[in-house]
Structure 1
Amino acid sequence: MDKLNWAILEELQKNARVGFAEIGRKVGLTSPAVAERVRKMEDSGIIDSYHVHLSHQKAGYQLRAIITLRAFTGRLKAFLETVKEYPEVINCYRITGNENIIMEVVLRDQVHLEKLIDKLITYGETRTHIVLSNVIKDAPIVQRIG
């Protein structure tokens, strides 16, 4: 990874639909050179997918929360198999510490949250934190570590 690849990644993270010619103008390469670098980053797994970033709020999911789960003895494996079926869960991480799981969820309202918690408590003890705002919104990772 050189500085040009990091610059290309930064542009793609800002807008994955931007054309290679536009990226090339910004980083000082030709369109074919950008395309070749992107292809190599895809082939090597550095770029593993492209995503649509949607507004959950505009789609009717007004509430965002972080929920941690401390699994009951023998219930973690069952949870890990089931959590993928919960459409509210947009990110789920297995973690170290007192809790086993941390999830980011989007919900229509408090009633929706209550129903989700009712499902989760069969697997363990939960703690819920309502998200008020996003302090670092969609910052390209290359700005942070590159």
Structure 2
Amino acid sequence: MLDHTDMRILEELSKNSRITMKELGEKVHLTGQAAATRVAKLEDNGVIEGYTIKMNQEKLGCLIHAMINIYTKSPHHDSYLSFIKAQKSFILNNYKISGDGCYLLECKFPSYEVLNQFLEDLNQQANYKLTIIISK
């Protein structure tokens, strides 16, 4: 069971996972060693599964943010999933969903030409409905 201090540690690590244990300890009112011990316990218990980076897609040249509802053409999704694996550079997330559609893709594209080619290739695997994100 997580206590208040564990939750604060998770909150601070989600803001900055590169924080030193000394700084983390100061923020949650522990020593650096005590904070490190708590983090290790959270890792060992599987609460913390890993650390990652968040990339700025716009600075990487991907200015078009799109959500794409996927409607597969058959009950077998293997060809669609293979296509998605080959398109990793554009796909941020591929969610299997219930309701309207089978999957929901979150994608970033550098241009409308690249988006159009992606959609043409996608249409060989599944039908789709495209939504362009204007702002966050």
Q: TM-score, normalised by structure 2?
A: 0.93
**Deviation per residue, 1:61-116 (Å, 9 max, x gap):** 11110011000014522212331221201100101113000011010011111011
- 1:12-23 alignment runs, 5 A limit: 12-23=13-24
**Deviation per residue, 1:8-34 (Å, 9 max, x gap):** 011111111011111111110011111
- 1:94-109 alignment runs, 5 A limit: 94-109=96-111
Q: Distance in 1 between matches of 2:126 and 2:134?
A: 25
Aligned Cα root-mean-square deviation (Å): 1.1
Q: Distance in 2 between matches of 1:82 and 1:110?
A: 20
Unaligned stretches of 5+ residues in structure 1: 135-146
| Aligned sequence identity (%) | 30
Q: Distance in 2 between matches of 1:51 and 1:94?
A: 22
The aligned counterpart of 2:70 is: 69
SS at match of 1:47: coil
- 1:1-146 alignment runs, 5 A limit: 1-86=2-87, 87-134=89-136
Unaligned stretches of 5+ residues in structure 2: none
Deviation at 1:53, TM superposition (A): 0.9
Aligned residues: 134
Letter in 1 for 2:73: F
4+ residue runs over 6 A deviation? none
Letter in 1 for 2:41: K
